[in-house]
Amino acid sequence: MTKTNQLRNILAIESAVAGGSVALIREETGEILRREGLECSRAEKLISIVSGVLDEAELELGDVNLIAVSIGPGSYSGIRIGLSTALGLGNARGIKCRGISVLDAMTWGAGIVTSPLVVAIPVGKNDIACRIFTSDDQGNRAAGGDPELLSSANFINQMKSLPNTTLFAHTDLCERIGDQIPETTPCVDAGIGMAEFVARYASREHAAPNNSLQPIYLRNRDTVVRSAGF
């Protein structure tokens, strides 16, 4: 067995936020390769993007030990495309798939110790998916509420009602609303590559596996989880 095959390689797919992204992390070295903003949310593009990342890493699909895929929230069709692709790749080579909430992954990867913390991503042109997290004295994060889907106006009003809060948001969202939230609310740019957060969260020793891969769809401030056929 080659040294490459001894590494625990994690392929991450996030196709539900903006243009989507793909990331590959070698857990033992921490090396990560990524492709961002290349229409990863389009089914006909995603497989070729995954192949490109593997080629860059000089790996084959058979060298991947785990496929981590975003189960949302985000674009309805994007979630379906990511899940279908991950399951197809996993079934083809017998690779385990793990579903990851992109908001949970962002929270863990933010490296922000202030509390409360709001993580947010754009959904379409007008809506925002978000979740509030709090921290205990040891810095452990806990969800302060369920994920929500809000209009931009309602999200901005919510941020105005949350003093001493930090916002960790996708680049597109920072650009859209950054000048409309209170000056006392730091808006930290999370970048556009959400797949990297998904990969790093999946690599955590104590990350709970999600073998059901049930997607998270948000409608009218409620979380709706569908299982049959996504």
Smallest Cα–Cα separation from 124: which of 165, 78, 82? Answer: 78
88 inside domain: yes
Amino acid (one-letter) located at 205: E
pTM: 0.88
Q: Check whether residue 112 and residue 184 sit in a common domain.
A: yes
CB atoms closer than 10 angstroms to residue 103: 26
Q: Check whether residue 66 and residue 151 sit in a common domain.
A: no
Q: Report how far residue 33's alpha carbon sits from residue 69's, in angstroms, rounded to the nearest whole number.
A: 16
Q: Check whether residue 92 and residue 38 sit in a common domain.
A: yes
Paired sense of beta strands 64-70 and 9-14, if any: parallel
Q: Check whether residue 78 and residue 8 sit in a common domain.
A: yes
Q: Check whether residue 93 and residue 203 sit in a common domain.
A: yes
What is the tally of helices (H) and strands (E) in the chain?
Answer: 7, 13
Q: Check whether residue 89 and residue 203 sit in a common domain.
A: yes
Smallest Cα–Cα separation from 110: which of 127, 135, 79, 74? Answer: 135
Q: Check whether residue 56 and residue 8 sit in a common domain.
A: yes
- What pLDDT score was predicted for residue 29? 72
Full pLDDT tens readout for the chain, 230 residues: 333 444 489 999 999 998 899 999 976 677 888 888 777 778 888 999 999 999 988 899 999 999 999 999 999 999 999 999 999 999 999 999 999 999 999 998 888 877 889 999 999 888 999 999 987 766 677 888 899 999 999 999 999 998 889 999 999 999 999 899 988 899 999 999 999 999 999 987 555 555 579 999 998 554 444 443 44
Strand locations in 15-116 (E)? 21-26, 32-36, 64-70, 96-100
Q: Check whether residue 7 and residue 95 sit in a common domain.
A: yes
* Total tally of structural domains belonging to the chain: 2
CB atoms closer than 10 angstroms to residue 192: 18
Name residue, tokens 């004295």.
Answer: 137
Q: Check whether residue 49 and residue 124 sit in a common domain.
A: no
Q: Check whether residue 46 and residue 88 sit in a common domain.
A: yes
| Residue span of the structural domain in which 40 resides | 3-101+193-225
- What pLDDT score was predicted for residue 207? 55
160 inside domain: yes
User: In this structure, what CATH number is given to the domain that contains residue 180?
Assistant: 3.30.420.40
Q: Check whether residue 107 and residue 179 sit in a common domain.
A: yes
Strand locations in 27-126 (E)? 32-36, 64-70, 96-100, 117-123
230 inside domain: no
- What pLDDT score was predicted for residue 143? 84
Sheet of strand 9-14: strand arrangement: 32-36, 21-26, 9-14, 64-70, 96-100
